[in-house]
Amino acid sequence: MRNEDIPIGFTMELAQHENALSAFSSLTNEQQRQVIDGAKQMKTRQEMRNYVENQFK
């Protein structure tokens, strides 16, 4: 997976949520791709924050 494929807002939210970053890192490549594809649908910072928090509860 290339860094340019990952939305910057998603990366920033992962950086602020250590547990989410850890959980994301433990996913398979396919699972990561699915989460990233969902993140690409987020339109605002708040939507992205909610998305990250809800993905890795």
In tens, the pLDDT along 5-25 reads 899 999 999 999 999 999 999
What integer pLDDT is reported at residue 46 of this predicted model? 97
Q: How far apart are CA 45 and CA 9, in angstroms?
A: 7
What integer pLDDT is reported at residue 2 of this predicted model? 65
Q: How far apart are CA 18 and CA 49, in angstroms?
A: 13
Does position 4 have pLDDT exceeding 90, yes or no? no
Does position 34 have pLDDT exceeding 70, yes or no? yes
Q: How far apart are CA 56 and CA 4, in angstroms?
A: 22
